[in-house]
Amino acid sequence: MTHLDSELKQLRIDLLDMFELVLSQLDKSKEALVNLDKDLAREVLVNEKRVNSFELQIDRDCENIIALFNPVAVDLRFLLAVLKINSNLERVGDIAESVCQFVMNFKLEPEKKLLEASRLLEMFDVSKEILKTVKDAFELEDTKLARSVFTQDETLDEININAHTIIADYILNNNDRINQSLYTLSMIRKLERVGDQCKNIAEEIIFYIEAKVLKHKSFQQKQETK
């Protein structure tokens, strides 16, 4: 194994660790919301600093490898993809942090009726599943798995589109829960962006493995580009 290969291998390990850290942040933000656990919410807020530090470390490592080894072809595509995936993961971490900021402002436990009607908890589960999918696609270098994300994201889009009407109806019948309802709508808007970040990651995986740029293509074009 060359020195470059060794550096790329370690970089892959580090990015997979970043995936795990961000997945953990999403998990904890959901648990903090469901149980109105403000201590757990604070833990997520503190851990966001770890996410940010990890992002900076991976960015520096990529830049150093490019400067020292002048990689080409698939190695260069890998490094460029890691830089962008790393940024997308940091943004997912920001979303988990935002959810916990809302949790800190809650004065009453989230009402189950509201969580079920808004499908907020389903959004958490789908977001986590999509993030796991792109992590596996990266680890296995599986572009078919990466492409499946474009379909998975449709559920998040659907919940987001319907959220405004559902929350408005809920507020009409529950005037004492206006703030919580608006926080719920904001969290739905935030979680919808997890799908967008994961689609960006999927595109970078396909770029790295197949040397195909999918950015700005339609959903159908992305599915057909094989």
Q: Output the six-digit token pair for 19.
A: 């995936």
Q: Output the six-digit token pair for 59.
A: 């960015």
Distance between CA 67 and CA 11 in Å, rounded? 15
Domain residue limits, the chain: 3-224
Alpha helices in the chain (DSSP H): 3-34, 38-69, 73-105, 112-118, 120-140, 143-173, 178-210, 219-224
Confidence of residue 107 (pLDDT cuts 50, 70, 90): confident
* Residue 176 Cα distances to 110, 121, 172, angstroms: 12, 21, 10
**pLDDT tens-digit series, residues 10-55:** 999 999 999 999 999 999 999 999 999 999 999 999 999 999 999 9
CB atoms near residue 169 (< 10 Å): 12
* CATH code for the structural domain at 3-224: 1.20.58.220
pLDDT score, position 224: 56
**pLDDT tens-digit series, residues 160-209:** 999 999 999 999 998 888 999 999 999 999 999 999 999 999 999 999 99
pLDDT score, position 110: 86
Give SS3 for 173.
helix
Assess contact for 15 and 85: CB atoms under 8 A. Answer: yes
The pTM for the full model equals 0.91
